[in-house]
Structure 1
């Protein structure tokens, strides 16, 4: 008997506490019905816990040392230019609107996503299975698609691919996605496409991405956007209704419901470049609750000196850098050195409480191993955020990206799959295993570690 197709439902920025509360209160009846028949728990994200990094990890089953997407904003060393995926409208203007659109919509998959990485869409297509995705930004696949706007050209994505009306492999009758985002038009577009796909059993894997919850939480703060979560529930309910109800949906499909990262409230913003005034040859790039600091050949400071400049800066909780074979985590002058141990785990020297965040050793070691990462990585302190290229921030609302639990813990619900991921990097291997498709070697290395 063939394995059931899989629907992977990804609600951007949804915190475990918000989902658990909404299920308990009856505000999200479809998600509650799925939870009643599934296996629920909390899982960890990656570092930085920012959407391009997280979605690349979900798509590839890897951390940034493999997929090579380091942040929302980063230095492309080979071209000596800043890549900005869309931190804010101010940041987009600072980086150049055309550059940002091209980088976020095309180059992230066509050029930036590491060649060693294999997406779930590529693995399943190579096994002869049908893949589909709605609005999912880490989309690299085996099927060529022509954009609806000429300057974006063609991309390689899943067999059936729908991306904010910019790419549409089929005519679905879905409404315009960007007509009123604050009112939920993007997720309404996703729901309409999802209905069309379920009605036709048009996939073996559908990645169904709902982004409006994160947008609302940035504005109002985490665990405040209940009305938007209800709309997410309605979008998932559309899939169930099309299948004939939740029971019928689960007879036909295995389901995963998850988030890519959480969010925490922001009280203060800090421009990380302020810590390096008067220092030549340094490029600090911050956005949300993480920053990368790049050192040029003319910089008089080494990575340790750059990290030390953040001692006593309230906005910076942990600064990370590589020193010889080790990684170093520094907080207010105290340090923890660590490196992978033979046989698994890590060898530690120093204050282990510096990295007492969820899965922090694995996440930070991998983040430092990303070839596009800065020389120093910075995780923001609770309540703080780093301004972006245009000075944008979310003070008074919510943000994410740091190692703290609220940013890096996500809900994870599986129904009809054998296993429950403890990290978002374990989702792709679980789905591939469900279909009897082998996982990339790096996923096996991660599991062994």
Structure 2
């Protein structure tokens, strides 16, 4: 069982467990293995993270660049639901269709397989509860509720999806025949727990079950990273699950339990003018594509904000990278600016001087046994290099592979930019989280998430979400 608690962070989890307010999570930590530094994907946004977790690859292979990106081939903005105003301007029907269908059946690369697909080939069943990234091997007809069908592009509000053996996603597909989803397209933490308990009670647990508890993310955006309220509520639901066994010891003897957070949050400042980086002002000299209109020949750039990370597209072929990078470097609220030139990736900063250039394969080996050619200002990415050409990471965990993944995730000429902790980006209709918290960036505050494993002493090879697929497959193959 892999329980993904959206926005669960190490410090908040440790406080909740150490003070006895989250007894189920405390039990798992004390009777299992706890990691406080699992590295998530980039950008640290749910669809990209879940794609990395379920395929075991970064975005250069699974091809999901973020929650909001621009398809240069079809000249359209792709949005999976970043906020009501932005989604409404792009088009509710388009965004809902992207999230429910295109994400899994068009955008997620066919060159990679999900853990559900791999398990099905081995004759092992699996379950997905509450995850929008769900691609499996079983064709299942899904039906949209009548009042929502007009907002979809499906005929009669129905479509055929490829899903895992057991599939639950709000009103579209449920495990319990009489279950009533509390939200249209998903379920809250109580609904998710009830779906899982139903499988346990009916002795229908498959070989692998993936559950997402989504509620906490929205609350932390407004309350800040150390808010514990929903950790305690979700813990009570996990207690109910454990209480279905004769003892909690039996629960972890019969199953392997994993609890993970998908991304962290950085606390945001209180002053809108100071802490929100309005990219429309940064690029006021350029013609910016509007998200509610078709892209025209006059449009020079497109902006796709993923909270504390942004993708900046050069639509005008006459426009040079330097013209845009020069504007970004003037802003000391932006700590990482990266772009690709052939096989080389260049990184500069609005905070530090110099330029860092790297590419795959070379004389330098990092802590994840990845090989790089690298030169220039290592401090831009807080990289450390020992005498034997061994690279380690500081504030930006696995930064080289994650930047490489982002800059090779889809077609087009684009720049990625990363805001310093405390700050976030804004473009047209982008939601912001002043006096709360936000995520998306390379920084360790959002990149390091907790993982608890109980029921086995085996550990993943590296502390990265991208390594969990192979780890889980190895556990199931061993059994």
TM norm structure 1: 0.90
The within-5 A match list for 1:196-211 is 196-202=198-204, 203-211=206-214
CA contact (8 A) 1:286 1:389 kept: no
1:430 equivalent in structure 2 = 471
1:378 to 404, 417, 422: 417
Task: Work out the CA distance in 2 between the residues paired with 1:191 and 1:429.
Answer: 26
1:316 to 296, 313, 334: 334
SS across alignment from 1:309: helix
Superposition RMSD on alpha carbons, in Å?
A: 1.9
| Cα shift at 1:313 | 1.4
1:352 to 378, 392, 406: 378
Task: Work out the CA distance in 1 between the residues paired with 2:14 and 2:412.
Answer: 35
Task: Work out the CA distance in 1 between the residues paired with 2:24 and 2:185.
Answer: 25
| Cα shift at 1:157 | 1.0
SS across alignment from 2:14: helix
Alignment CA distance shift 1:152-1:127 (3 Å): same
The within-5 A match list for 1:53-202 is 53-149=48-144, 150-168=156-174, 170-178=175-183, 186-202=188-204
Q: Is 2:294 the partner of 1:289?
A: no
1:4 equivalent in structure 2 = none
SS across alignment from 1:310: helix
2:443 equivalent in structure 1 = 404
2:6 to 12, 28, 34: 12
Q: Is 2:54 the partner of 1:36?
A: no
Alignment CA distance shift 1:73-1:276 (3 Å): same
CA contact (8 A) 1:213 1:228 kept: yes
SS across alignment from 2:348: strand
Consecutive unaligned residues of structure 2, counting only runs of 5 or more, are 145-155, 270-274, 288-299, 364-369, 383-395
Computing the radius of gyration from Cα coordinates, the structure with the larger value is 2
Q: Would you say how many aligned residue pairs link Structure 1 and Structure 2?
A: 425
SS across alignment from 1:189: helix
More divergent stretch after superposition (83-92 vs 416-425): 416-425
Task: Work out the CA distance in 1 between the residues paired with 2:411 and 2:226.
Answer: 33
| Cα shift at 1:167 | 1.8
CA contact (8 A) 2:143 2:157 kept: no
Alignment CA distance shift 1:300-1:276 (3 Å): farther
| Cα shift at 1:19 | 0.8
2:263 equivalent in structure 1 = 261
2:459 to 405, 408, 419: 419
Task: Work out the CA distance in 2 between the residues paired with 1:389 and 1:436.
Answer: 48
Alignment CA distance shift 1:13-1:242 (3 Å): same
2:218 to 192, 195, 215: 215
Alignment CA distance shift 1:314-1:177 (3 Å): farther
SS across alignment from 1:277: coil
Alignment CA distance shift 1:404-1:152 (3 Å): farther
| Cα shift at 1:179 | 8.0
CA contact (8 A) 1:292 1:373 kept: no
| Cα shift at 1:372 | 4.8
TM norm structure 2: 0.85
CA contact (8 A) 1:75 1:372 kept: no
Listed one character per residue, the Cα deviations across residues 379-438 of structure 1 (whole Å, up to 9, x for unaligned) are: 11111111254231111111100111111110011123411440000111100111228x
